[in-house]
Chain A
């Protein structure tokens, strides 16, 4: 095992998350390579290790980020507006997770999984106000990573 891999992987992970936080969009490998002053090949290899350790979920091409939880690399029905940016989340949990990660207030836009009704919540920085809405978790914790995109 490469003894420097953990440090490099952590730098890559942080660069990915910083890119999501700053731009609300997934980064290209080349952007992360510039951020960590390394080669795209080395960054791609780090992506693979981060995928294996369940930090990232990658598209089939192996280099496009589908998920860097709580951020989604692709548009979803779970949108989070914080400041002047609009983020996509992987689920309702992750929508709140984006605000928790940013330590910022925002507005969560989503849809009711039962009625398909559009919903929007103002979320202060210390969490949502009391509401009748609930989160339905369909997949038990032991199976979350069997198909994390479905979960």
Chain B
């Protein structure tokens, strides 16, 4: 079983901004898989746990 990670509060804030800062605007949309990987990596969240298309979790 892969290890479930913990996320620091500053990382969680980064996720919140990436997902929701434009949510009340017309152009808002959910990030796609490649964007998600980029956001996670930019916040130091690495590994297959954070891969939205990881086979091992499918």
Contact = CB atoms under 8 A, between A and B. Distances in A.
A130 B30 contact: no
A1 interface: no
A96 B16 contact: yes
Interface string A90-108: 0011101111111100000
A135 B24 CA distance: 25
Interface string B5-17: 1111111110111
Contacts of B26: 10, 14
A4 interface: no
Nearest to B53: A142
Given A70-B16, A127-B13, A141-B36, A134 B58 contact: no
B27 to A, nearest CB: 9
